[in-house]
Amino acid sequence: MSLDQLNDDVKSIYVDIDDSPTVDLDRETKNELAMLAAAFGTDDVDELVRRGIHVLFRSTVDTGDLDFQLRGSYDVTYDEYLSGMTYDEMTGRDQYPQRDDERRYQM
């Protein structure tokens, strides 16, 4: 996989997500959502779900879990995704031909 594949997958999934995904909640999740709604004094559980997604995303970015998952699946990091280029492209390392170590010291 590559940075281009990750961009394509993100765009494809973004289009597939509608404005209000339907999620089946188990008893524990419903209880936790009800507790949060009561604590924040809101009846808008959709807003709490949106906040929950932001917290999960931020947590995975901060702990490096997102980079770990992206590196395993696409061989890129979140920083590379944001910049639109890999570290090798940024540093120019992919511009130079590979060294031929066998012929390197021949005269």
pLDDT-based confidence at residue 21 (cuts at 50, 70, 90): confident
Q: What is the mean pLDDT of residues 27-31?
A: 94
If one counts the domains in the chain, the total is 1
pLDDT-based confidence at residue 91 (cuts at 50, 70, 90): confident
| Short-list 58, 41, 48, 54, CA closest to 25 | 48
Residue 107 has pLDDT above 60, yes or no: no
Residue 57 resides in a domain:
yes
Domain range for 75 is 3-7+32-93
Residue 82 resides in a domain:
yes
Q: What is the mean pLDDT of residues 61-74?
A: 95
Predicted TM-score (pTM) of this structure: 0.72
Residue 58 resides in a domain:
yes
Q: What is the mean pLDDT of residues 80-89?
A: 86
Residue 21 resides in a domain:
no
Q: CA 75 to CA 55: how far, in whole Å? A: 25
Q: Tokens 């995975």 map to which residue?
A: 60
Residue 103 resides in a domain:
no
